Structure 1
């Protein structure tokens, strides 16, 4: 219910204020399990994508957002839950692994799941190497991966700023990367790497970012 209320109010208002450039939205299937794999520039990316996609997109979010106290904490929790986000403790390895099972449940019931293969946001604007969790989900669930390229979201609310800014933002959805029948004769580990690299190359083409060529390591502040 809360999701329906927020989704009926937030997207029209956000799009009216920010006027994002949205391209390729027709590539997102209207129904059925699908993974939206995006580059990651800002914490607000997990709000931007659900705002422009006309179906539920579930993201995992830091458990800290769900554990605040007082009125502000309650509002923040309601906000993230209302956007369809699920909490995960990124400092608990077991919880992080369990989050893949949560993602498979989301895909199994025919919903869209959003993921950042880089693992954490880029702090220098480059596109980092993708981790193979995205391929694990796609191959296990047998669902397509829609690459997403975000541009400008890091300027909406830069680290340290209290209020969001009205800046040009673009969201581009690429053609779905299909997995059915493509990797049947490929060893699983190699299949995951090949599929992940394919997805990341598609994301790079959409975002125009310079490839870093290495994995992104999470900073102490997340």
Structure 2
């Protein structure tokens, strides 16, 4: 209930007026039944603008820390991510990846839309990075279509480290559904899962027009942090 109240009463109308979001290709999202919505990830606000423009509810997987904070900040975080339709996943445990896949399969099994960021984290510089194969395994396990979604300029609306978004039009683009049924029963085959993931990332590349880097975004962030331990993330990105 809180999801719909925020979408249509508390937050959604304000976002529509201020940012005038535009979503191309919404007709590719099915009116009924499960699907994986695989998106590039440019900004913290991605999980708000895209669900705002899709009539159906989208469930995203989010790290559990967003739901366990204390005090006013923790309360705000819980409300914020609940409003975005997120489900908490404990990424610190050894079985975190398996827990995410299990939760994702359950959501799809209930006939819902599942939102996934195959890069695993926000892009540190606006480029598109190598996708992790969890999205492929989930698609092969469940047999549902994968729909590529490109966030176009949300990194300009709210760059990493910037709390207050810039007021400008937000643009998003949805591609045609990808059918991987020809690989049925081949989940767990790392070569097949890598091939499927790369196909998904190629579609995101075509939709978004980003420059592609065949490395994981998390590795780039880690290397940057290690190289410049005395600077904040915002300062490193700004540099």
Deviation at 1:170, TM superposition (A): 1.1
Say yes or no: does 1:118 pair with 2:87: no
Shift of the 90–79 alpha-carbon distance from structure 1 to 2, 3 Å rule, reads same
Residue 192 of structure 1 corresponds to 193
TM-score of the pair, normalised by structure 2: 0.85
In structure 2, distance between residues paired with 1:25 and 1:109: 22
Give matches, 1:98-117, under 5 Å: 98-117=99-118
* Root mean square deviation, CA, Å: 2.0
Report if aligned partners of 2:124, 2:217 keep a CA contact under 8 Å in 1: no
Does the CA contact (< 8 Å) of 1:11 and 1:52 recur in 2?
Answer: no
- Give the match for residue 90 of structure 1: 91
* Structure 1 counterpart of 2:136: 135
Instruction: Say how many residue pairs are matched.
Output: 221
How far off its partner does 1:185 sit?
A: 8.4
| 3-state secondary structure, aligned to 2:95 | helix
What are the superposed Cα offsets for residues 123-182 of structure 1, whole Å, 9 maximum, x if unpaired? 1211111111111111111100000111111122223323222123210000000122x1
Shift of the alpha carbon at 1:195?
1.4
For residue 67 of structure 1, report the CA deviation from its aligned partner.
1.8
Deviation (angstroms), 1:184: 4.3
Q: Which residue of 2 aligns with 1:206?
A: 207
Q: In terms of mean alpha carbon deviation, does 18-27 or 67-76 score higher?
A: 67-76
Q: How many angstroms apart in 2 are the aligned matches of 1:185 and 1:155?
A: 41
- After superposition, the Cα gap between the structure-2 partners of 1:159 and 1:189, relative to the gap in structure 1 and judged at 3 Å, is closer
Give the aligned partner of residue 179 of structure 2.
178
Aligned to 2:6: 6
1:117 CA drift (Å): 0.8
Off by >6 Å, runs of 4+ in structure 1: none
Check whether the contact 1:152–1:167 (CA below 8 A) recurs between aligned residues. Answer: no
Q: Say which SS state the counterpart of residue 218 (structure 2) adopts.
A: coil
Structure 2 match to 1:162: 163
Structure 1 residues 184 and 96: CA distance shift in structure 2, 3 A: closer
Stretches of structure 1 that go unaligned for 5 or more consecutive residues are none
More helix by share: 2
1:98 is displaced (CA, Å) by 0.7
Deviation of 1:186 after TM superposition, in Å, equals: 6.3
- Alignment-derived partner of residue 32 in structure 2: 31
2:236 maps to which residue? none
CA contact (8 A) 1:23 1:173 kept: yes
Query: What TM-score comes out, normalization by structure 1 length?
Result: 0.91
Change (3 A) 1:160 1:190: closer
Unaligned runs of 5+ in 2: 226-232, 234-239
Q: Compared with structure 1, are the counterparts of its residues 183 and 117 closer, same or farther at alpha carbon in structure 2 (3 Å cutoff)?
A: same
Q: Does the 8 A contact of 2:37 with 2:146 survive in 1?
A: yes
Equivalences for 1:15-54 in 2 at 5 Å? 15-54=16-55
CA separation in 2, counterparts of 1:47 and 1:134? 21
Structure 2 vs 1, CA of residues 217 and 83 (structure 1 numbering), >3 Å: closer, same or farther?
closer
